[in-house]
Amino acid sequence: MASAVLHAYWNLLVKRARDRPVFMWLSMVASIVLYLPVYLWVVWREGAAVSNLLFPLVGGAIQGVYCYLLPRTYDIGDLSLTYPLARGAAPVFIGMIAPMLLGERLSAPGYLGMGVVFVGVWVLHADGLSLAGLWRPARALRERASLFALATSLTIAAYHLIDKAGIAGSHPVAYIYLMHFPMCLVLAALLRADRRSKAVAAEWHDNKVGILAVGFLCLGAYLLVLTAMKLWAVSYVASVRNLSIVFGVLLGARVLGERHLAPRLLGAALIVTGIATLALYG
């Protein structure tokens, strides 16, 4: 839940940036600089601290794609729409894939909880509480913002599954720190292809405080997730982390002035119900 609060806040900072993909890349570079002393301390205490380098390399590369798609999604749609869809669909994808790849056995209440989370995300995406408003998400899936959000969600599911396998026997700090190198390289390649690299100096000049804040919060929030993965099934961790959807909706409505607060609060309540089901019975 602490990770959820931090995650929603740094996504708000990304949404408010001028050139969001460049802002995201600078934030990931800032993470490498800010957490270098912590990483060196872990290596000094634990040794190599990562059991298999392939996992952080592959997971980091996928996160690089995620870090490119996420700000592009925010270029197109509202935070309180795209953020819930991107985060909320991920545990559903994970719940379908994790039993096959990782051998995790989910209980019936676990599936029920994930289903309620999915329904909550659907309601969050509605225009209103009327029948027509509640049917809007089906039409919205054809919109460009929703397609970007779903693509982002697939990358979230992919790196969670890889990280669940890779974190076993690894120190969370060392693991996530090493992930940032392939992440930054992949994101830099995508930015170059998109001809955004010229905006780096301007974005740093305008938003250096926000960049440093996201660099600190992004790694710190996911460090909490990796620690939780060592104690709990990845399907449940990903679902509980989606409590960030509630905070994202409130930030979008209250800070950014986005509309449709009533259905989004109802959707948030459904998500909390699904999370409680996972926590108590999963």
Written as one string, the DSSP assignment of 179-212 is HHHHHHHHHHHHHHHTT-GGGHHHHHHHHHHHHH
Q: Is the pLDDT of residue 206 over 60?
A: yes
Average pLDDT over residues 88-110: 73
Residue 237 pLDDT: 77
Q: Is the pLDDT of residue 122 over 60?
A: yes
Residue 109 pLDDT: 80
Enter the pTM of the model. Answer: 0.84
Q: Is the pLDDT of residue 195 over 60?
A: no
Q: Is 7 helix (H, G, I), strand (E, B) or coil?
A: helix
Among candidates 274, 267, 268, which has minimal Cα distance to 110? 274
d(CA 35, CA 261): 37
Q: Where are the domains of the chain?
A: 2-281
Helix axes 144-167 and 54-76, enclosed angle (nearest 10): 160
Residue 66 pLDDT: 94
pLDDT tens digits, 212-246: 999 999 988 888 887 887 777 766 776 677 778 88
